[in-house]
Structure 1
Amino acid sequence: MASPSKIKKFEEAQQKFTLSGEVYTRLHSAIYQLCSINYDASVKAIKINPGNINAGMKTSGNGGERFHKASCDAQPFVEKGFIMGDIFRKGIEIVIALLEGEIPETKIEKFLLEKLVKMLNSDELVEIDFASETDLAVVLANHLFGKLATSSSYTIDKTCHAKRKGNRCFCNDEKCVLKGVYGDTSIGNPQVWHGSLDIIIENNIAVENLEEEPDSSHGKSPVEVKMRASFLSLNPQLIAETIVFSFIQKQKHPERSNFLTPLIGVAKSEMLVMFYDSEHDVLLESTLIPLMSRECKSRFSVEAIVITWLVVNYQFLCSGLTKNMLSLKANFFENVKDSIEIYQNELQLQNVTLAAEKLPAQRVQELDHSDFLLKNQQRLFSLQLRKRCTSIVPKN
């Protein structure tokens, strides 16, 4: 018979993974969207037109382009779309198992799941002034991205004019301090695409806030230009940053099982995730994700929390490209064949010397779906039919 102390520890451990009935329902809905054959939950494949891209070396010898001056003729591959859950199979399995009452066995999976549950159960309200786009990225790093990653450590671009507040967060809590630091967030190579990202989390995740037109010739202006969130889609600057960041991650972590690397773009009240696989030359883009809850504008949406959790922990939860995605080449290698060696071997993380109209909505003709997604849709549907009590307590 177990001792009282062991029983208490067991109960405390179980409590870490307990969801209220309301949170359970919202989590179920959010994860269902990542498995459902539904256009709004899909990940679009982006194809770069070979005709107009400035990612290579300049023949004039003046160096490569900065990210904010990147250009490429990006078009969505509208014949078929892909569902985001198919590239995060490990993460999907962990969450659905939780909904079924199971806790992961491995220490890292328990650790990651605990972070997700804690965030979902949090009563924290975050007032964000969306009129200040620069402050937005910092608040999101402090209150969303950093809290769901394995470490809250992140670096903010030291040239950002928001640095004026020192180590204070930009939320409405005067006592809230930044978990991150201001520093060097430059990536790339001066001969090709290069520049500074707004935020880098744990040197594994990049965050870019769009507050100005990407073709500005003066870098980051202290005068804010309000951006439409829809401009996140097919944005040349995000595409350039995602591609460069993916090559850097492949260069620094050759031991990883896949090299599908995400970059988070934020603007106003929405976020978007761009992915690039620098081994198979495939570029993917998510649909726009609302940052805040429809019911409470001071609370993050469950969709944003779940997708952020998957993305910031992609090295553990991302399963990589599916077989059907491998043929959707972005043609980046062909476009920069004279500079591809630089992208593959000579990019840097830090210490890099730094020398749009709204597009019409494109709906894909068909959504690709796998047996994995169909199986998990059925699991979720079965759960929905069960009568649940007001508190979901995982099994031993």
Structure 2
Amino acid sequence: MAAGSTKREFEGSGDTQVVFKKKKDKCRVDNCFAEMGHIHKVVTRNLLQDVAMEMRSFVDQGCSTFIKINRLTLLNSNAIDGSSFSKAFCRISENDDEHSFACLFKKGLHILMTYMERKEMPVNEQESLVLDTLLHYLFEMKNAETKAPFGVLGNLGETDITIILTNHLFGKLCTSSHFLIDKQFKGKSKAKESCPCSNTECKMTGSFGDTGIGNPSVWHGNLDVIVNNQVVVEALEDEPDSDSPGRTPMEVKSTYLSRNPQIIAETIVFSFLQKKRHPEYSHFLFPCIGVNSKDMVVYFYDSKNDVLLESSPISMYTISGGVNLLAIVVSWLVVNHKYLCDGLTEGLKKETSGFFHQAEKVLPIYKNELQFGDVGISCPKPKHQFNFVDDPSRDVLKKDWLRILNVVFKK
């Protein structure tokens, strides 16, 4: 007899009839066993209004938390020296032009804003599932004690910061909550199997393994975490005091989220690797999230068009100490970029990062010989001595946010 069916006997006849009961769809979000669509019944209008207010920060250049992206140009690097990620060097020039972070995620923001305005779910099942993950997370953040783990990050090292943020934020916003953590972290974390947050019963949905990528002849090394097989997360300890004794300028600089050479190298190599493994993708703009206990910065590299981008810093918390809704929405867009990202705009394709020129001698290795896992970690010293050069920050131009919003979603 088919699953979900029952037998019914008719009185006085001895005949039986099989009655098929329609199986109820279950929610597909991890660790949720309620009926499909239940979350839409409890997401309140106030919650959606809170999210809508935060959306201004994507496009309103007059807003103090406006999120922009800048194209970065590589003036010099050790990309051809066989250096590990931890010894990567990039001398960076920031371009004058500024773009809205939203221009990369018009599709994702259209899905979210359509739901906020009309409570309409996407017709596409995969997109509906992706939206469900965000709605679940937002509802739980407002109605459960899920804020607690983030309050202890300032007292932890980068290993535990990485695991907590991935286990409680980035992983929860994906269609699959599984993530791969650098196996070298296993001996450094406070807990081996459970999450190092304050809840002793909290288990990790990720596992330790080989996160090595690259090639020993070029940039290579282990990534902190790979989320959803699509996104790299790299955590850094909080920025030290520049006057800290015993620290060289290079060591101090390497802890900064902005224009961080290690994260830039990882972003570039990861994009080349993904292009090699998934040539069928519609675009090859892949992200890497850099985080510390307070802020996050998102890097993107397109290994087809040679374009390197960096977002402005995004605070993880509000002034009152709660988790920043804007950081949640940005994280959701980035970890689901496979479904929500449109790739580069035509305007962003006009100028390259210069990496192809910098790595011209070894570019075939980057394009064809990178590997995932079992990467030899040989770390020869760079052949040249480099000096870090900071570029002045650019002032944000003020524009009408409603006009920009119309441009962002103009079809």
Which of 164, 180, 183 matches 1:139? 164
Look up the match of 1:353. Answer: 376
Structure 2: runs of 5 or more not aligned? 1-21, 27-33, 240-250, 379-386
- TM-score under structure 2 normalisation? 0.78
Amino acid at match of 1:19: V
Name the SS for the 1:103 alignment partner. coil
The reply on whether 1:106 has 2:124 as its aligned counterpart is yes
Residue pairs, 1:112-191, within 5 angstroms? 112-122=130-140, 123=144, 124-127=146-149, 128-132=152-156, 133-160=158-185, 161-163=187-189, 165-191=191-217
- Closer, same or farther: CA 377–335 of 1 in aligned 2, 3 Å: closer
C-alpha contact (below 8 Å) 1:273/1:285 kept by paired residues: yes
Q: Deviations over 1:203-256 (max 9, x none)?
A: 21111112399xxxxxxxxxxxx9799821111111101000010111111111
Distance 1:364 1:321 in 2: 23
Cα contact 1:36–1:377 (8 A) shared by 2: no
1:200-279, aligned counterparts within 5 Å?
200-211=226-237, 231-279=256-304
Q: Tell me the amino acid that sits aligned with residue 35 of structure 1.
A: V
How many residue pairs end up in the alignment?
353
The yes-or-no answer on 1:303 pairing with 2:326 is yes
Equivalent residue of 1:129, what SS? Answer: helix
Larger relative contact order (Cα-Cα within 8 Å, sequence gap ≥ 6): 1
* TM superposition shift of 1:30: 2.3
Q: Is the 8 A contact 2:295 2:313 kept in 1?
A: yes
Report what 1:333 is aligned to.
356
In the alignment, residue 83 of structure 1 is paired with which amino acid?
S
What amino acid maps onto 1:265 in structure 2? G
How far, CA to CA, are the matches of 1:8 and 1:323 in structure 2? 41
- Please state whether the residue corresponding to 2:169 is helix, strand or coil: helix
Aligned pair 1:312/2:335, yes or no?
yes
Distance (whole Å) between structure 2 residues aligned to residue 303 and residue 164 of structure 1:
29
CA gap 1:181/1:376 in 2 versus in 1, 3 angstroms: same
Q: Could you list the runs of 5+ residues in structure 1 that have no partner in the other structure?
A: 59-63, 214-225, 380-396
Task: Please report how far the alpha carbon of residue 36 of structure 1 lies from its aligned counterpart in structure 2 after TM superposition.
Answer: 2.8
**Partner amino acid for 2:264?**
I
Tell me, yes or no, if structure 1 residue 46 matches structure 2 residue 77: no
Please state if 1:22 is matched with 2:39. no
Q: How large is the Cα RMSD of the aligned pairs?
A: 3.3
Change (3 A) 1:7 1:316: closer
Q: Which amino acid aligns with 2:56?
A: Y
> Which one of 290, 296, 305 corresponds to residue 280 of structure 1?
305
- Based on CA coordinates, which of the two structures has the bigger radius of gyration? 2
CA offsets per residue over residues 11-61 of structure 1, 9 Å max, x none?
Answer: 965542353243212210222222334573211211111xx21001x4xxx
Percent sequence identity over aligned pairs: 36
Amino acid of the structure 2 residue aligned with 1:48: L
Alpha-carbon offset, residue 286 of structure 1: 0.7
TM superposition shift of 1:131? 2.6
| 266-275 or 11-20, larger mean C-alpha shift | 11-20
- For 1:205 and 1:327, locate their aligned partners in 2 and report how far apart those are by CA, in whole Å: 25
Aligned pair 1:321/2:338, yes or no?
Answer: no
Larger CA deviation: 198-207 vs 88-97: 198-207
- Is the contact made by 1:86 and 1:373 (CA closer than 8 Å) also made in structure 2? no
